[in-house]
Structure 1
Amino acid sequence: MTISLSKGQRIDLTKTNPGLTKVVIGLGWDINKYNTGQDYDLDASAFLLDANGKAKGIEDFLFYNNANLYNGAVVHTGDNRTGEGDGDDEQIILDFSKVPAHIDRIGITVTIHEAQQRNQNFGHVSNAFVRLVDAVSDREVLRYDLGEDFSLETAVVICELYRQGTDWKFQAIGSGFSGGLAALCKNYGLDAQ
């Protein structure tokens, strides 16, 4: 049975799901009736963070052009440039057994590509969700539907997975940022230039 989470909720992943070592993080969204004259290209990414909540460099930043970190610990499956269709629009595969010991937290984010130039924001996005699926059994473990809480934001931290001892936990975040990818990079200690 899938567990549905609300903003701010946390759930234990590996302790309550023995044997869970590899997951698919599926992210999806729809575009409202807005038409800015251009396609909406939303991009999923992940920031691998140390105990201080910061990424060391590009080696800790997963996106469609840097799609495999730490020999398959975290893998981006590809860039969906339209978001059309049902189900997951983009996916990130996470293998807990391969995540290096210095990584304490993984921030899962979505940004709108060229949002400022295209006059687009998350107020135009609806039905956004993240779901976590056991990659071995294909069983959906949890789902977090973000709701319609955004207006002018161009980037969102969807969720974070974090280590507590030898176990991994999940927190539904749903925090918006103005300034797109550059704002997220700054938040996580990277220079987006």
Structure 2
Amino acid sequence: RDLYPGPVTPTLTLTLSLTLTLTLRWTTRKALDLDASAIILGPEAEPGLRQTLDIVNFSQTQSRPDVSKRPGTDLVVHSGDNVTGEGDGDDEVIMVRLNVAAPEVSEIVFTVNVFSGGTFADCRDSYIRLRLGKNDLARFKIDADTTSEGFIFARLFREGNRWGFEAMGTQCDGLTARDPKTIAAAGGTEDPGQYNPPSPQVQPGDGGCCVVS
């Protein structure tokens, strides 16, 4: 169903199979790069702000290990950057496995930013949706009245062993989710820095190359 900023929907029961996907689709009159991101928040750091534990976006497509309680399983995974919005289907996808969220994870805030310059007023037929399995849980249409660079779509928040969902629809400044203005609008403290996964170690017999002099 289409959503507007406002009431919290009924909470979602946390189950072992609860996986959500956020999808972003846009069409523009000119080349425009929109980026969907997930800002992962932890405990309260100061009045009105929570500690920013991680940010998953086009430049960091998987969450850092310490926000997941299951080793080897990412809490959040990003599909990668689509810089034009061309083609059929969803342009960017973020997957969230709520069942592996570490105990200190309290919220996951979804944002969209216009990275290439311009605003959402340059978009048409653009939407963000949150899916549970194959079903749409929520859909938010971005209209031409949205004239900002950034947009806080919605947040998931923990309540004991359940998760709630709130549509937000807050306009903000910032070309990426790592911009301090976007982070603050999402309710977080400063960027913890980009996580770079370690490179796989080449083991003997794996085809590694050596130089003999």
TM-score by length of 1: 0.79
* Structure 1 residues 73-152: aligned runs within 5 Å: 73-115=75-117, 120-135=118-133, 138-151=134-147
Q: Quick one: percent identity of the two aligned structures?
A: 26
Query: What secondary structure, in the 3-state scheme, does the structure 2 residue paired with 1:101 have?
Result: coil
Q: Which residue, 163, 166, 172 being the options, matches 1:177?
A: 172
Q: What is the CA distance between 1:20 and its match in structure 2?
A: 5.5
Counterpart of 2:82, as a letter, is N
Supply the distance in 2 between the matched residues of 1:191 and 1:19 (Cα, whole angstroms): 30
Supply the distance in 1 between the matched residues of 2:174 and 2:61 (Cα, whole angstroms): 23
The answer on whether the counterparts of 2:113 and 2:174 sit within 8 Å (CA) in structure 1 is no
Structure 2: segments with no counterpart, 5+ residues: 66-72, 194-213
Supply the distance in 2 between the matched residues of 1:140 and 1:93 (Cα, whole angstroms): 14
Supply the distance in 1 between the matched residues of 2:169 and 2:85 (Cα, whole angstroms): 19
In 2 relative to 1, CA 191–143 (structure 1 residues): closer, same or farther, beyond 3 Å? closer
In 2 relative to 1, CA 20–192 (structure 1 residues): closer, same or farther, beyond 3 Å? closer
Question: Could you say what the CA RMSD is over the residues aligned between the two structures, in angstroms?
Answer: 2.4
Larger Rg: 2
Structure 1: segments with no counterpart, 5+ residues: none
1:26 aligns with 2:18: no
Across the two proteins, how many residue pairs are aligned to each other? 176
Task: Note the alpha carbon deviations across 1:12-59, whole angstroms, 9 max, x for none.
Answer: 3523x977511111122222x3x4xxx2111111100123243445xx
Which residue number in structure 1 is paired with residue 57 of structure 2?
63
TM-score by length of 2: 0.73
1:157 aligns with 2:152: yes
Supply the distance in 1 between the matched residues of 2:156 and 2:9 (Cα, whole angstroms): 10
The answer on whether the counterparts of 2:120 and 2:142 sit within 8 Å (CA) in structure 1 is no
